[in-house]
Amino acid sequence: MIRALKENFKRKHLIQLLILTGLFVVGMFVVYGNEIHPRMEDIYTKEVIPTTDDTKRIPLEEGMVLSEDVIFPEDQMLGIGVELYSNTDKNQGSLLLSVENTDTGEVLGTERLNVKEILNMEKNLPTDEDVWYFNVPFPEQNLGHLGEPMTLTLTVESLGEKTDLYIYGNEWEDADHPLGFEMVVRTYCYHYSYWFWIFLLLGILLYVVLVLAFLLLLVVKADWHKVFIPVGIGFAIVYNFLLPPVTVPDELNHIATAYYYSNVLFGVEEPALDDLSEASIYVRRTELNAFPEFKAGPDLKEYDYIKKNIMRRTDAAGEEYAELSQYKESDNFLLYLPGTIGLSLGRLLHLNGVTTIYLGRFFITICYLLWFYFVIKRAPFGKAAVFLFALCPMVLQMCCSYSYDAVPIAAGSLFFMILCDILYEKKSVSNKDTVVLAILMFLLGGCKGGVYLPLCLLILLIPTDIYGSVRNRRTKRILFLAAAAAGFFLCTFPYLLQVLGVTEAATKTQLISESLTPYSIKDVLTDPVHSIWVVINTILMYADFYLKGMFAGPLGWLNIDLNPFWIYSLLALMILGILPQHNEDAQIQKKQRLFFFLAWLLIFLMALASMFVSWTTKGNLTVSGLQGRYFTPVFLVMLVMAARNNVLVLKKDISRQVSFLGVALGLIIVNNILSSTQAL
């Protein structure tokens, strides 16, 4: 690789790289000014011992020693102190204020005040607030104390005879307050100035990704699947940080399900279940404490919590088991295998809840990178488009999370690319292809209620001459269809029986829809005209929403919506990446294109129908709950079907330029996500 770089790197590449670096630096300054600096500038006050109706002024006397135990309220504080009052200008003496860690005794800061600085509040105070703040300042780099106990001690070292000095306090008498009051304690907090360093580190990472994409795609001209690994790692790290656990829809349910299968490995039996609506799963207390800190819409406090806890081990109390009020999402453990391995490893290493949950995500991310490495490698054409699809926001979000949508996305994409490779490039079905296709069809048949079975039927497009003989074709078709049927009947059919009410077990859909009164199959059969109208109305109203949702969002519980301009720019780049070149035959026959269309249409209608009879309340004029991400597994089918033809042909090969522009656009989309988290 280095040798190829030396041979191919020209002066024009150096100039382009310098221009690219300049644009990136300008962009970084813009992002810093718009997104990062505002997060660091917000200084605010917070009373850790607040004023009450019983707050009053208590006179200070020489020799007094007052102390209060408080909890560090934020990760980063500028200062902590008490509130004083005086009605004279003749104050003399000094006060000492010190702060130490209650557990370790470490002195966090001290400050001495010459009380002659305190002027008559009634005459000289330039504001209407009758308070003089006496604070212990904290250095900005004093981080990582959120939630820790600290002791604030005020010592009255000396007071002059004419000094008239008071402290604000609340009436409170116990063993720790022999004088009958507690001090009002106020802190000054800084909103996470360490964001600059996080921004710098992630910025350097993204710059490395951009330079690698430039060198590998435009200079070395490396294979797309080899370029994908370093570029994908960079984007996966950033997405995992900006979209933390539980950000992805239903991810808490999926984490709980992965934990259920981890419990199976550890031999932990789940709590006895008397009421299906009160299902729960055992988790360690450290995970149970972590879950409430994760939010559907991430905010600064959540990022701060992750930063503080990501490297900590858990203690004995954290290893105890507690019940999490969640239920098992699916009986198909294959959908959760990588996450289960990561969670189990975190438990074996006694890592804390945050690290353990992220370790599961780490294993899922590795699977995503390896899986799409082979998707891109097997693509017989349009590698630039497949490369960009693998880096799409929706693919990154789902495949770097616990969501089981990642499995049909990866399996559907690999299945279709292997099929295209067999049809248009290899012209043969090897034993290895047979095994891989059968496994992929089993996975596709076993998830999302069987809606992806029409994709599996595309296997019928492989003609006899590719199989080699009629007998070989018949044998392998039976094997393929049997694998898809096995996946459906083993993993999906029992779920459908539950939804239809044939079995007694309840499903998530049933539990949620008890109060919704959804449409039923009977309603469809008795009033088909109304049902058809609901479907048509849904398509007319939400076609754009479904299209964007297939590859770009909205991300994370519909809270993070990307700018439509960048979304459709990404779609345009993928279309350019799939178009045939002037010397390249599109190859797709009319019959094959028709089968692609019918498979996609059937999947769309099956998903629409399943949501119509299980999630849509009677009387609604549109289908509820349907998301564009449900069709991400067949996005490449739609792209090939629509754009791979002889009508639009590129006169020049611009696929590598398209891929690089897509990577650069990915950086803009990352900033779009950052802007959205700023607003939350």
Average pLDDT over residues 607-631: 86
User: Average pLDDT of the chain?
Assistant: 86
Instruction: Mark whether 278 and 424 lie in a shared domain.
Output: yes
CA 94 to CA 115: how far, in whole Å?
6
| Domain co-membership, 227 together with 156 | no
Same domain for 48 and 182, yes or no, is yes
Structurally, the chain folds into a number of domains equal to 2
| Non-local CB neighbours of 543 within 8 Å, separated by 6+ positions | none
Judge whether residue 598 has pLDDT over 80.
Answer: yes
Which of 190, 208, 239 is the endpoint of a domain? 190
- For residue 33, being part of any structural domain is answered with no
Q: Name residue, tokens 């699916």.
A: 330
Q: Is residue 507 included in any domain, yes or no?
A: yes
Does residue 151 sit in the same domain as residue 294?
no
How far apart CA 549 and CA 531 sit, in angstroms, is 24
Domain boundary, last residue among 190, 211, 235: 190
User: Would you say residue 32 lies in a domain?
Assistant: no
pLDDT of residue 456: 95
Q: Print the domain residue range for 67.
A: 43-190
- Same domain flag for 250 and 179: no
Q: What pLDDT shows up at residue 140?
A: 64
pLDDT at position 559 over 80? no
Q: Which tens digits make up the pLDDT trace of 162-194?
A: 888 999 998 887 877 878 889 999 887 765 666
pLDDT of residue 502: 46
Q: Are residues 238 and 151 in the same domain?
A: no
Dihedral sign for Cα atoms in the order 365, 367, 370, 373: negative
Q: How far from the centroid of its chain's Cα atoms is residue 200's Cα?
A: 20
Question: What CATH number does residue 67 fall under?
Answer: 2.60.120
pLDDT, residue 127, reads: 46
pLDDT in tens, 69-81: 998 877 677 889 9
pLDDT (average), residues 449-456: 91
179 and 315 in a single domain? The answer is: no
pLDDT in tens, 101-138: 898 888 888 999 998 888 777 765 544 457 888 999 88
* Residues 463 and 321 both lie in one domain: yes
Say whether both 378 and 257 belong to one domain.
yes
Q: Over 70: is that where the pLDDT of 651 sits?
A: yes
pLDDT band (50, 70, 90) for residue 680: very low
Looking at residue 275, its pLDDT comes to: 61
Question: Based on the domain organization, do 178 and 287 belong to the same domain?
Answer: no
Residue 208 resides in a domain: no
In a domain, 351, yes or no: yes
Share of the chain above pLDDT 90, in %: 51
**Residue 276 pLDDT exceeds 60:** no
Q: Is 557's pLDDT higher than 90? A: no
How confident is the model over 493-509, as pLDDT tens digits? 666 655 555 444 444 44
* 572 alpha-carbon distance from chain centroid: 25
Whole-angstrom distance, CA of residue 342 vs CA of residue 359:
5
Residue at 72 is within a domain = yes
Q: Is residue 581 assigned to a domain? A: yes
For residue 558, what pLDDT is reported?
Answer: 52
**250-264, 468-482, 617-631: least confident range:** 617-631
Look at residue 497 in the predicted model and tell me its pLDDT.
57
Same domain, 242 and 345: yes
pTM score: 0.82
- 379 assigned to some structural domain: yes
The residue out of 190, 215, 250 marking a domain boundary is 190
Q: Mean pLDDT across the stretch 212-225?
A: 94
Residues 89 and 181 both lie in one domain: yes
